[in-house]
Structures are given as C-alpha cells and as structure tokens.
Amino acid sequence: MTGVRPVLVITHAPHEGPGLIAPGLDAPLRVRTVLDLEDARLPRLDEVSGVVVMGGPMDADDVSGHPGLAAERALLAAAVDADVPVLGVCLGMQLLALALGSHLHRRAATEIGFAPIDVLAEDEVLGALGTRPTVLHWHSDAVDLPPGATLLASTEATPVQAFRAGSALGLQFHPELDAGMLDLWLSTPDMVGELSAEDVDEIRSDGARHLPALLPSAEKMFAAFGELVRARG
C-alpha cells in the first residue's frame, strides 16, 4: 500500500469506530475526531482517497453544541463536488444529507434493534446487501432526501434509510457491526441507558440470529466501497 493516500475516518464516540468498514478499505486510515473543536481542521481532500463519517449520539444540526460538525459538513459537501468516495453511517448520513441541502427531523422515528429495510434501487455498493436485509438500527432522528439524490432504501418509520448522491453513499442503519462490536455497544451506558434489560437481551439475541447471515454481505459491500477508494488512489 506504499503511496496510497489514506482514508479519512471521522468519529464522534469512542465506541462507534469503523468496524467492518476498515478491512474492506485495504488502505491506511486517518482517524480524526473534531466534534467539539471550535477551530476544527480536517485533511485536504487531495490528501485522502476517501471519507468515512461514523455515527454518534448528537443531533447532526447541533453546531452550537458541537462546533466541529460545521467543518465536517463543509468537507462532505466539498468531497461530493470533487467526486471523492464518501460513506456516511447514521449520524454520518445525516451530516451528509445536511451538507447537500437536506433537513433534519429530530425525534422523528426511534428505531433501535434488528429489522429489515426495503432496498428500492440498484447501487454498486449497497446492492451487496440484497433486496430486504435485516440490519441493525439505532437512531431517533431522520432526514429528507437531499435534492438530486437517489433514494436507495426505506422503512415505514424512516423513509430515507439510504441514498446515493454522486460519489457519496449514506446509510442510516449500522452494517459495520460484528458480534464483538455489538457486545461493546450493549455494554456501553451511553448506548443502552434508555433501554430496558429486556430490550438489551432482545437485541443481543437478534444479533446472534441475524449477524451470521448479514456479515458476509456487509463485508462484500464495504469491499465494493474499498474498490472505489482504491480507484481514486
């Protein structure tokens, strides 16, 4: 991988790392957390081969509380304009949508746990998951489809579960988790503080049932994103 530009991974919480995304990239990672920095500085787009923005518990439009979000949104908008491969997951998808002119709806629909999504359109990356995969949801905010974007997946509660906007793919759900990362989430107070013990047990049980079938498809999906990253170099 000598000479390969790194992939920028922006994180917002220590337990919400790239997970399965990282091995699919086959490239060095440059992980940054600028959430609460007034003077947030991120790498230039000519220094990276792709941008991945992970999840977090904050509202995507809370720039006053988390000023670094403004820099993230500016970078995402510039990345789409420059045709840089982008992957946004959960909060990352919401930031991507806002960067592209969409609107956030706070507490619009809480979805926590494993449930299917309906895949509505073909996509070279998302298509690896199939037409109705059961995935992990963990959100309460939602976004409108950005102008000009293609809606890729939906649920009744959250109409925009995935979208494609040029070089960028946004995912409201969490295909990046394996069993170990799910266990970490279920033992992290910030993640489960508002869940009952029964809720946690159900998510753990559903994970044991659904992850074995989901993981190979998720790995294939992230490898497809990795091919786009490698093509940029």
Does residue 3 have a pLDDT over 80?
Answer: no
Dihedral sign from CA coordinates of 67, 172, 124, 223: positive
The two three-digit tokens of residue 221, written as one number = 């999906």
Q: Find out whether 208 and 29 touch, Cβ atoms under 8 Å.
A: no
pTM of the model: 0.96
List 169's β-bridge partners, or say none: 87, 164
Catalytic status, residue 90: yes
Does residue 176 have a pLDDT over 80?
Answer: yes
Domain that holds residue 129: 7-232
Asked whether residue 180 is domain-assigned, the answer is: yes
Asked whether residue 224 is domain-assigned, the answer is: yes
List 162's β-bridge partners, or say none: 153, 171
* Of 65, 127, 55, residue with least CA distance to 96: 55
Tens-place pLDDT, residues 99-126: 999 999 999 999 999 999 999 999 999 9
Asked whether residue 211 is domain-assigned, the answer is: yes
Distance between CA atoms of 18 and 26, rounded to whole angstroms? 13
Q: What percentage of the chain exceeds 90 in pLDDT?
A: 95
Asked whether residue 13 is domain-assigned, the answer is: yes
Tens-place pLDDT, residues 46-58: 999 999 999 999 9
Q: What is the average pLDDT score of the chain?
A: 96
Asked whether residue 2 is domain-assigned, the answer is: no
Structural domains in the chain (count)? 1
Measured CA distances, 61 to 5, 14, 67, 70, 96 (Å): 30, 20, 10, 9, 11
CATH code of the domain covering residue 17: 3.40.50.880
Nearest-10 crossing angle of helices 179-186, 197-232: 130
Q: What is the predicted pLDDT for the residue at 1? A: 47
Asked whether residue 1 is domain-assigned, the answer is: no
Does residue 207 have a pLDDT over 60?
Answer: yes
Distance between CA atoms of 31 and 10, rounded to whole angstroms? 6
Catalytic residue among 90, 111, 137, 139: 90
Catalytic status, residue 174: yes
DSSP 4: P
Q: What is the predicted pLDDT for the residue at 105? A: 97
List 116's β-bridge partners, or say none: 134
Q: Average pLDDT in the 16-27 region?
A: 95
Tens-place pLDDT, residues 127-156: 999 999 999 999 999 999 999 999 999 999
Asked whether residue 14 is domain-assigned, the answer is: yes
Tens-place pLDDT, residues 28-48: 999 999 999 999 999 999 999
Q: Average pLDDT in the 8-26 region?
A: 96
